[in-house]
Chain A
């Protein structure tokens, strides 16, 4: 029985090693908070047209995570107002805030660890965040689809 390794074997070994290294790296990356951050930042995000009962599932103090399970930040405040409704009739736009609809626009303030490089705020020192950006975040019982309307050292200037 020949015991010589051929090119395919080396390639497969390399592939296996890459898989192992990648998995370990990802787990380590998710669990360690050792990144270039220089303090706490806040963002204000708008979650539009939410049912009141859905809004009740989110509370202040909860931790928010990304879809991959990475910690994003902590909810520090939630304010609500009746959802703004837009109706387009004959090319004209009409807006109203009907209370009876039971739908709300939520304004969620999130505190997160971040850094600032060249005027850009980086979440966890790596992911840039900007006003107008859409975010999908998860609390224990909620899936938030929101848009950043302010991002800085304090959410409300």
Chain B
């Protein structure tokens, strides 16, 4: 009876595999060094950003004695992982809606909701064609986003202005 010899599959690491692993590690290392030195060499600037949070329920504001977002609150990204800045000032403004009165379009305040205008101080890095970056997030007036401001989740907040403090 012929016994078939089972062919063993070799899982041995060859020299080429080692070279490839070393090459990949070197690429990661060089990339890391490049990013680290780039960040180190970039000068930070102070920014004053104006955020507008539209249509915040008035009842919510009253429940917190108009202190829903106190000064000094930390502004974070939506998932809360990156700290973007600190609240310097909060203004509570009436929310106006366009309505039709006697055949004319007029602005009337909606008493159920308020708009918040929040001045936030941030530290950013100007990167030329990549704009001003705060924790790698482009900060530009006209943009929209969801931010975690203190304990409040500000959805569809509009970035009204960005001012670089000299």
Q: Enumerate chain A interface residues (CB-CB to B < 8 A).
A: 1-5, 9, 12-13, 16, 47, 50-51, 53-54, 56-58, 63, 65, 69-71, 85, 87, 89, 94-96, 98, 100-101, 138-145
Q: A72 to B52, alpha carbons, bound, how many Å? A: 29
Question: How extensive is the interface on chain B, given as a class?
Answer: 35 or more
Question: With A and B bound together, what is the CA distance between A85 and B100 in angstroms?
Answer: 11
Contacts of A144 in B (CB 8 A): 142
Known: A87-B99, A142-B162, A144-B142. 17 other contacts (CB 8 A): A1-B14, A2-B10, A3-B15, A9-B17, A51-B158, A54-B141, A56-B161, A57-B141, A69-B129, A87-B98, A94-B100, A96-B98, A96-B105, A138-B131, A141-B163, A141-B164, A143-B142
Chain B positions within 8 Å of A, measured between CB atoms, are: 10, 12, 14-17, 20, 23-24, 27, 50, 52, 96, 98-100, 103-107, 126, 128-132, 138, 140-143, 158-164
Residues on the B chain within 8 Å of A138, using CB: 131, 138, 140
Question: For chain A, what secondary structure do more than half of its interface residues adopt (helix, strand, loop), or is it mixed?
Answer: mixed
A-B contact count (CB 8 A): 101
| Residues in B neighbouring A85, C-beta threshold 8 A | 98, 105
